[in-house]
Amino acid sequence: MTDEFIQPLLAWYDENKRILPWRDKHNAYYTWVSEIMLQQTRVEAVKPYFERFIRELPDIPALAVCPEEKLLKLWEGLGYYSRVRNMQLAAREMVEKYNGRLPEDFSLLISLKGIGSYTAGAIASIAYGIPVPAVDGNVFRVVTRMTEDSEDITRPAFRKKTESALQEIIPKDRPGDFNQAMMELGAVVCVPNGQPKCDLCPVRGFCQAGLHGTMEKFPVKAPKKPRVVEERTVLVIQDGSCTAIRKRPPKGLLAGLYELPNTEGYLNREEALEYVKELGAEPLYIEELPEARHIFSHIEWRMKAYRIRVSSLEQTHIPGILFADKKESERNYAIPSAFGAYEKYM
DNA sequence: AAGGCGGGGTG
DNA sequence: CACCCAGCCTT
């Protein structure tokens, strides 16, 4: 039974797998970097980031010693920035304990920062041929449709159950290809958001949902909490060609990235001018900028904004605030997409 | 078990 | 608009 399922799946994968910059390279570092980038992030978004990251940091020792600002700059716009901080922590541990290499062992891999059950399985199987499953969102979708399983996939217990089931059938000669085939199937055939392409599926004969036409009922997930709306005021404070930016705190949302000074709530012109004075600058004039909105996974920012020209920036040294011209900030400072609407005013 | 943590694609 | 994406960490 398992062979009847696995052989067509692997044959389909051999014929139809996408060419990806990290695929079939026999380089565990590439596998690791790509898997971290691919967490909650689409293949097309990852491609250019991966190429640049490998070019700048070609191996684990290079990653281990990379300055924070450069690291964040390489991740700018990808989101979930703790991924790259954790990756550097793991790289340093590999330099110290594993001769600068990824350990060839599932338990050691999963003990590293930022490497969980899925990523450890992916690296172990793809890079080292170790027969362990790698269960991501694609695999959840494929498996729950195949079996018409209505259990909530967000429950940790369901992940364990799925991993155990796949551990039993994973082919020991091609574990990495099997895991990638399951994910590839989920990504291009057994797709989310609407009708899957069951006519293209190599294993449709084994799929209960396909046979019953219930594909879109799976997978079942518990509803998410609604987003919190936050009103903020963003300030583009500038003198000539320089604009004020500041580094965000080391923990929490957008940790360690740079931002335009901004504050909770909607400020009117007078309050905005007062805010700038408190920062230690002398405002010359103020101009209202268009409103903007940014959606995070759990927060929505609704932003009002002002451009405020000030005099003698060089005389203002506010703790934590620095002034940079557009080129300088583009080159050296990672600024998240949330401020994208105001970049043109910098 | 639940919540924090980005950004963008898609129907 | 809602949903989801090659998830992990902290509490």
How large is the average pLDDT for residues A268-278?
Answer: 94
Angle (CA) A258 A288 A246, round 5°: 15
- CA dist., res. A189 & res. A170, Å (int): 21
C1' of B10 to CA of A339 (Å) = 24
Q: Which nucleotide is nearest to A79 (CA to C1')?
A: B6
Query: Does pLDDT of A230 surpass 70?
Result: yes
Question: Six-digit token pair at A153?
Answer: 């996939």
C1' of B2 to CA of A157 (Å) = 14
Q: Residues at the strand B interface (CB under 7 A)?
A: A 40-42, 44-45, 77-82, 155-157, 193-194, 222, 225, 252-255, 294-299, 336-338, 340
The 3-state DSSP class for residue A273 equals helix
Let me know if A35 is a catalytic residue: yes
Q: Identify the bridge partners of residue A231 per DSSP, sorted by sequence position.
A: A302
C1' of C1 to CA of A297 (Å) = 15
State the pLDDT confidence band at A239, using cuts at 50, 70 and 90: confident
pLDDT in the model for residue A278 = 87
State the pLDDT confidence band at A225, using cuts at 50, 70 and 90: confident
State the pLDDT confidence band at A312, using cuts at 50, 70 and 90: low
Mean pLDDT estimate for chain A: 94
Domains of chain A: 2-217 (1.10.340.30), 228-345 (3.90.79.10)
The amino acid sitting at A22 is: W
The closest of A5, A3, A346, A20 to A208, measured between CA atoms, is: A5
Q: Which nucleotide is nearest to A255 (CA to C1')?
A: B5
The closest of A1, A2, A35 to A20, measured between CA atoms, is: A35
In degrees to the nearest 10, what's the CA dihedral of A326, A306, A255, A64? 0
